[in-house]
Amino acid sequence: MRTELAIRGVIRFIAGIVIVAAMLFWPAGSWGYWNAWLLMGVLFTPILILGIVMLIHSPVLLRKRLEGKEKEKEQRWVVALSGVMFVASFVVAGFNFRFAWATLPDWVTWVGVAIFSLSYILYAEVMRENTYLSRTIEIQQDQQVIDTGLYGIVRHPMYLATILMFLSMPLILGSIISFVIMLVYIPIIAIRIKNEEQVLEEGLRGYTQYKLRVKYKIIPFVW
């Protein structure tokens, strides 16, 4: 099982590097886009480390992260819109570097690195707390409501981590235009959460009561 997962993980990892590099360096027209190299470093290094940790300690969770297609029609649209957003944001960042449309100062880039690092720590903690996490919205066999740790503060800490992660990427790339494009992720994730909670209320015992106890979805006292 682990050998198969390792091979699939390596293939997915290499493909991700190639695709992201193409989206950034081709429109930039230069390998000298240092912000892109920085983003790829902070993006793929923790992915590699987390993948190795999951392969050793939680191969079942790693399989869930590698597999799955959305069954819910609404979620397929969410995934498609997210993909368009990512491509547009990265490609525009590359062109922004080439033509110097609206570049951000270097200190903003390093603030972005700090926010991204924080978001990945949060992401790893959520993965540790909730072994039912999947790339798709589904009710798993013997699944239980997780209401401790971060899940005792907000109902969707994973989405909080991804919002911070995605909004920090354009800052690392030095493109305010790409940042504006990435803001589209907020209404996209709101749609995903609405559908996800409907599925969980219908199929996961105790989730309705959990919603009454933990009132905020992503940001305490705000949302």
> Could you tell me the two tokens for 12?
């997915």
The pair phi, psi for residue 219, each rounded to 5°, is -120, 120
Residues 132-189: tens digit of each pLDDT: 666 555 666 667 888 888 898 999 999 999 999 999 999 999 999 999 999 999 999 9
The C-alpha atoms of residue 23 and residue 34 are separated, in whole angstroms, by 14
Q: Which residue matches tokens 């190299």?
A: 37
Q: State the pLDDT at residue 162.
A: 93
Q: What is the mean predicted confidence (pLDDT) over 16-20?
A: 95
Q: What is the mean pLDDT of the chain?
A: 87
In single-letter form, the type of residue at position 190 comes to: A
Q: What is the mean pLDDT of residues 196-221?
A: 87
Predicted pLDDT of residue 124: 85
133 vs 56 pLDDT, higher one: 56
Output the pLDDT for position 137.
Answer: 58
User: Which pLDDT value is given to residue 186?
Assistant: 93
96, exposed or middle or buried, with CB in 10 Å at 0-12, 13-18, 19+?
buried
Structural contact between residues 113 and 172, judged by C-beta atoms closer than 8 angstroms: yes
196 band by pLDDT with thresholds 50, 70 and 90:
confident
CB 96 within 8 A of CB 42: no
Cα separation, 121 vs 192, whole angstroms: 23
Angle at 159 between CA 90 and CA 195, to 5 degrees: 105
Q: Which of 54, 72, 49 has the alpha carbon at shortest distance from 1?
A: 54
* pLDDT at res. 203: 79
pLDDT tens, position by position, 58-99: 777 777 666 655 565 667 777 888 889 999 999 999 999 999
Please state, in angstroms and rounded to a whole number, the distance separating the CA atoms of residues 140 and 179: 35
Q: Work out the average pLDDT over 200-205.
A: 83
Torsions phi, psi for 175 (to 5 deg) = -125, 110
Q: Could you tell me the two tokens for 89? A: 């944001």
Residue 48 has pLDDT above 70, yes or no: yes
% of residues, the chain, pLDDT over 90? 46
> What pTM does this model have?
0.87
Question: Please, which pLDDT band fits residue 30 given cuts at 50, 70 and 90?
Answer: very high
Token couple for 63: 């399989």
Question: How far is residue 202 CA from its own chain's centroid?
Answer: 26
* Gap between the terminal Cα atoms of the chain: 40
Q: Torsion-angle region of residue 136: left (phi > 0), alpha (psi -120 to 50) or beta?
A: beta
**Domains of the chain (ranges plus CATH)?**
2-213 (1.20.120.1630)
